[in-house]
Structure 1
């Protein structure tokens, strides 16, 4: 279960979407994922953004 205030790493997002981490980065580059936030030098996705994106049918975001 995903908590709405949780931040997901690329690995966690990949597991959630059943894809590889490389595919997560490809989807991000293609504008097909919600924009991540930067935490230090890391990129993280807000679980709430990902949940909304999935519920909307995974539309392209760009």
Structure 2
């Protein structure tokens, strides 16, 4: 499977939302899956949705976050209160 095809692979949840897997995000950003998990754990990106034992990110949420310039999500409330 080519890397371009794998990065475009989409998974949907029970509500029909398209989701990114950690591997798809790692390929999209050219980093490791571990780095994606670290970013999520530290609040530097949107929190994932757990589907059983799987971890996924809604595509619309990630694309909006990227368009906003990838701000730290953990500090978003502090910025909004100023």
Give the ranges of 4+ consecutive aligned residues of structure 1 lying more than 2 Å apart after TM superposition.
none
The two structures, once aligned, show a CA RMSD in angstroms of 1.7
Decide which structure has the larger Cα Rg and report it.
Answer: 2
Asked which structure has the greater RCO (Cα within 8 Å, sep 6+), the reply is 1
Equivalent residues, number = 61
Q: Tell me the TM-score normalised to structure 2 length.
A: 0.68
Q: Which runs of 5+ in 2 are unaligned?
A: 1-7, 11-16, 75-82
Gaps of 5+ in 1: none
Larger helix share, 1 or 2: 2
TM-score (norm 1): 0.87
